[in-house]
Amino acid sequence: MKKVISILSVLLLTLLIAACGSSEKETSNDDQVTDSTNNSEANGSEEKENSSEATGTSVDSDNQEYSISVLDGYELTAEEPNKDLLFNKENEEQSMRIEVYNASEVNMADVTNELVETVKASNSEGNVTEITDNSIVPSGKQIEDVKSYKAEIPDGNNVYGYTFLQDGLGVKLTVFDTAESPAIEDFIKMANTIKIN
């Protein structure tokens, strides 16, 4: 129980800290939207190719060497060194922690084991199940070796964990979602767009 409270406290503090600088980031995101619009006009065929993926603004992580398409209503912020947090601006309980690694320098089995332990810690009973619903599992041309897990937490919400290889990256995602109006499919759409810088 202490682990659950500790994890939730850390998540809440992270969101509060991230909110302190949100007006500055929103301004820079507006600039990026303008730049993206101009680039999209110049590269119309490229935009059509990616239209099946998340149709958001491409954002480079300030903290790690990747970019991701962020949907409207979500914001990407640095959580701590080598960890970013993508959260729903309208519901701070919905977030996705993103960690990326150079695929040639990491043992993904170890990363996956660490992920399973993190997801397990969110559930007082330690119950973790593999996800079999493909609509909530990252997929795409360059996504390989996907491992996906889920734990229901006592308040009825869910914690999802994913590891996979994509575009030369080892990716680890931890998604915190609500049972009421879940956002997991949005998080998966955005996860599918992670690319190395």
Instruction: Check residues 33 and 136 and name the one with the higher pLDDT.
Output: 136
What's the confidence (pLDDT) of residue 36?
A: 40
**What is the rounded average pLDDT of the residues 100-105?**
93
Residue 12, pLDDT score:
45
Per DSSP, the residues of 10-35 read HHHHHHHHHHHTHHHHHHHHHHHHHH
Token representation of residue 12: 């809440």
pLDDT digits (tens, 9 = 90+) for 104-160: 999 999 999 999 999 999 888 879 999 999 999 999 889 999 999 999 988 889 999
**pLDDT exceeding 70 applies to what percent of the chain?**
73
The reported pLDDT for the residue numbered 94 is 97
Residue 152, domain extent: 2-196
List, for residues 47-71, the tens digit of each pLDDT value.
333 334 567 999 999 999 999 999 9
Please tell me the pTM assigned to this model.
Answer: 0.72
**Which CATH number characterizes residue 94's domain?**
3.40.1000.10
Distance, first Cα to last Cα, the chain: 39
pLDDT of residue 7: 54
Mean pLDDT of the chain: 80
Spatial distance between the Cα atoms of 179 and 182, rounded to a whole number of angstroms: 6
Split into its structural domains, the chain has a count of 1
pLDDT band, residue 28 (cuts 50/70/90): very low
Our measurement of the distance from residue 92's CA atom to the centroid of its chain's CA atoms, rounded to an integer in Å, reads: 14
